[in-house]
Structure 1
Amino acid sequence: MANSNIHPTAIIEDGAKLGDGVRIGPYSVVGADVVLGDGVELASHVVVAGRTSVGARCRIFPFASIGHQPQDLKYKGEPSTLQIGTDCLIREGVTINPGTEGGGMTTTIGNACAFLANSHVGHDCHVGNNVIFSNNVMLAGHCDVGDFAILGGGAAVIQFARVGAHSFLGGMSGLEQDLIPYGMALGNRAYLSGLNIVGLQRRNFSRTEIHDLRRAYRLLFAQEGTLLERVADVAEEFREHAIVMEIVAFIKAGGRRSMCMPKNGAEA
C-alpha cells in the first residue's frame, strides 16, 4: 500500500488489502476481508465490511455502509460477496449489501457508477456500468440494472425487477415491473411513458437510430395483438437494427416480473 494516507483514528483490520495511494479519512473502518483498489478514497466515517472489493479510484463519502450483512431475514451468515468496479462515486449515507445463498452469493456494481446520498442497493443485485442513482433511490434485492440507466430521486424498484440499459426511471416513481432498454417510466405506480429521448441525445445516438427506436416502440406497444405477437413482428422487421433488437432480446428473456406498459397505448 505504497503512498497510502491513513488517518490515525481509522481502523484497518488485519487481513485487509489496500492498493497504492489509498486514502482513508478519520473514523473510517475497513474490515479484515476487504480489498481496496489503487487510489480508493474513504472520506471519513466510512465503513467497508464483509467480503467486499472496491475498484480503483472509487470515492466513498461519510456514513456510507458498504458490504455489511444483507437486509434479508433468510441470511444465515454465508460467505457472500460484494464487488464494486472502478471509478465509482458513492456519496453520503449510501448502503450497498452483499449477496445471499438464495440469490447467487454476490452483488456486483460496474464501473463509473454514481450513487448519490442515501441511495440503497439491495442484496444479489447486479448493476451495470455508468449507472446513476439519484438521492434516496431504493433498489430491492435480486434486481438487474443495465448500463447507463438513470434512476431519479426517491425512486423505488421492487425485488426481482429488471431495469434496461439506457433507460430512465423518474423521481418518486415506484417500479413494479421490468423497464425496457431505452424506455422511460414515471409515476406511482410506474407506467411506461415513452423512450428516454433526452438520454439518447445526450449519449449521441444518431437521428436514424432514434427514429428506428420510435417506430419499433409504437409497434411493440400498439393495441393490436398480444405483446409476444408484436415482439415477433418487430424482431422480423428490425432484425438488422442492433439497438431495437436489444429491446426484443430483453422482452424475450423475461424474468420474474411482467413488462412495464404504457397507460393508454404507445407513446414515444
Structure 2
Amino acid sequence: MNTNASVHPTAFVEPGARLGDGVVVGAFVYIGAEVEVGDGTVFGPHCVVHGPTTIGRNNRFYAQCAIGGDPQDKKFAGERTALQIGDDNVFREFVTVNRGTGNGGGVTRIGNGNWLLAYTHVAHDCQVGNGCVFSNNSTLAGHVVVEDQVIMSGFSGIHQFCRIGAHAFIGMGALVNGDVPPFVMVAQDGYGRPRGINSEGLKRRGFDADRISAIKRAYRTLYVSGAPLDEARAKLEDMAADSPDVRALLDFIGNGDRPLLR
C-alpha cells in the first residue's frame, strides 16, 4: 500500500491492494487484496471494493458504494473475472457495479468522466463508454453496451444484451428491451419507444444545424416512414454517403444480439 495514501483508522485495506498517490480511504471502507486504485481517487465512508478491480485516477466514490462484487448470475461458479474503471468518474451513494462472468467476456468496463447517481446498478459484463449520466435508480442488466454521452433518466432500465448508441437519451421510467440507435430519444409508454432524436443534447455538444437535420432525416426514414427495416436501411445507405453521423447510425443497426427498438 502506498504510504502517500490517506487511510482512515477504521478502514481496512487488504495486503496486496495498491493505492496511488493522494488516494483517500474514508471511515469503515473495505478494499480487497486485488484492487488497484489510481492517483487522487477518493472513497467515502462504508464503501466496499472487491477485486480483481482496477480503478483509474481522480474517481470519487460517495458513501455505501459496492464495487467489484461477484456477478449476480446463477451460472457464476467463482471463476476469476474483473472490473475495470477509468478516470474522473463520480459514483454517488449506494451505487453497485459487478465484475464480469467467465462465459460473458470476463470483464465489466466503465470508461471516463461518467456520473452514476444514487442507487444506480451496472451488472456483470456491461461495457460503458465515456461521458454518460445515469440518473438515480437507473439500471443495466448483464451484457449491456452503453456508448459515449448517453443519458439515462431516473428509474429507467435496460434489458440484458441490449446496446444503447452514442448520444441517446432514455426517458424517466422507460424500460428498454431492444437496441437504441445513436442520437435517439426513448420515452415511456409501457416499454420505452423511440420519440424523436436528442436534439437538445446534440446542440449542447456542438452539433451544428446541418448535422442535426441529417440525423432527423435518418430518424424519419427509420421510424416515421413506415418502411420495412430492409428498405429503410437501403435509404439510409444513400444518406450516409454525405453524413458520418448517419453512417454511425447505420453501422449500429443489426449488429447486436437484441432486435432494434422500433
Is the contact made by 2:4 and 2:20 (CA closer than 8 Å) also made in structure 1? no
Q: Secondary structure at the match of 1:67?
A: strand
Match of 1:240 in 2: 242
| RMSD between aligned residues | 1.0
Per the TM alignment, residue 224 of structure 1 is displaced from its structure 2 partner at its CA by: 4.4
5+ residue gaps, structure 2: none
Per the TM alignment, residue 260 of structure 1 is displaced from its structure 2 partner at its CA by: 1.2
Per the TM alignment, residue 3 of structure 1 is displaced from its structure 2 partner at its CA by: 2.8
Matches of 1:225 and 1:117, distance apart in 2: 41
Per the TM alignment, residue 2 of structure 1 is displaced from its structure 2 partner at its CA by: 4.9
Per the TM alignment, residue 257 of structure 1 is displaced from its structure 2 partner at its CA by: 1.2
Per the TM alignment, residue 8 of structure 1 is displaced from its structure 2 partner at its CA by: 0.6
Q: TM-score, normalised by structure 2?
A: 0.97
Q: Secondary structure at the match of 1:199?
A: helix
Matches of 1:260 and 1:239, distance apart in 2: 24
Is the contact made by 1:119 and 1:137 (CA closer than 8 Å) also made in structure 2? yes
Q: Secondary structure at the match of 2:234?
A: helix
Matches of 1:128 and 1:158, distance apart in 2: 18
Is the contact made by 1:64 and 1:91 (CA closer than 8 Å) also made in structure 2? yes
Match of 2:196 in 1: 194
Q: TM-score, normalised by structure 1?
A: 0.95
Match of 1:77 in 2: 78
Matches of 1:252 and 1:103, distance apart in 2: 20
Per the TM alignment, residue 236 of structure 1 is displaced from its structure 2 partner at its CA by: 1.7
Matches of 1:256 and 1:119, distance apart in 2: 24
* Post-superposition CA distance 1:121-178 (Å, at most 9, x none): 0000000000110000110000000100000001011101111100000011111111
Q: Secondary structure at the match of 1:185?
A: strand
Percent identity between the two aligned chains: 41
Equivalent residue pairs, number: 260
Matches of 1:57 and 1:225, distance apart in 2: 48
Match of 2:148 in 1: 147
Per the TM alignment, residue 252 of structure 1 is displaced from its structure 2 partner at its CA by: 3.6
Match of 1:35 in 2: 36
Matches of 1:239 and 1:45, distance apart in 2: 53
